[in-house]
Amino acid sequence: STFPPSLLTADGNGPYLRRCEIIRPSLQALDNSTFVQVAPLICEGEEAWIHGNSLINYMKMVYFTGLTGFIKFDALGFRTDFALDIVELGMQNLTKAGTWRLDTGANYTRTFQETLKKVVDGLQNKTLVVSVAYNDPYIMQSENADDLAGNDRFEGFCIDLLTEIASILKFNFTLVPVASNAYGSKKR
């Protein structure tokens, strides 16, 4: 059988089925294997096209390279054998950071040193707001905190560590005590 011209064109403006590289070869294979009877169907209706399951099975056998890379489907109709690009949002653009595949998982193409440099460069000349909860000897209020301002009101191991890291990585920070000195709680 041959498909009517109305199925192969859209408003007379050219091949409609060529726009979808899955449908066209699937319909051709179906047409070559059996007499295809074209009949109108109502989308909201209960009636299914007599060749619907066969068409789906032919679609599962189609594979090709499309805009998103290699396209192939498994027996259940899920896309398989594909890779996704892992991208990172930068200040100006997206940068490819690796790939992901179902069989191998994530593969980052950037080395640890490159990632570290990007993080360090991103921190320079920035001011971070750090929430703190008092916990001796890690974070304490200085003895004369009422006479001091800013970060000088705090002392302790964590404060010393944060000050040293900020000095090495060249960033600033502002310490802000949390209300009620709470570490957080579950919302119920």
Instruction: Count other C-beta atoms under 10 Å from residue 169's C-beta.
Output: 14
- Is residue 67 a part of any domain in this protein? no
Q: Answer yes or no: is pLDDT of 155 > 90.
A: yes
User: What is the spatial distance between Cα 106 and Cα 84, in angstroms, rounded to a whole number?
Assistant: 9
Same domain? 119 vs 173: yes
Total residues found in the chain within this entry? 188
Give residue 32's pLDDT: 92
Spatial separation of the C-alpha atoms in residues 167 and 159, rounded to whole Å? 12
Determine contact, residues 153/139, Cβ cutoff 8 Å.
no
- Helix axis angle, 52-61 to 23-33, nearest 10°: 120
Q: Are residues 91 and 121 in the same domain?
A: no
Q: Is residue 183 part of a domain?
A: no
Domain that holds residue 52: 22-62
Same domain, 102 and 129: no
- What pTM, to 2 d.p., does this model score? 0.47
**Residues 125, 171 within the same domain:** yes
**Domain harbouring 156, CATH code:** 3.40.190.10
CA atoms of 22 and 18, how far apart (whole Å): 9
Cβ–Cβ under 8 Å, residues 65 and 71? yes
Q: Which helix (H) or strand (E) holds 20?
A: none
State whether 92 and 134 are in the same domain: no
- Predicted confidence at residue 157, as pLDDT, reads 97
Domain presence at residue 73: no
Domain count, the chain: 3
110-154 pLDDT, tens digit each: 888 888 888 888 899 999 999 999 999 999 999 998 999 999 999
Q: What mean pLDDT comes out for the span 60-85?
A: 84
In a domain, 126, yes or no: yes
For range 29-40, the mean pLDDT: 87
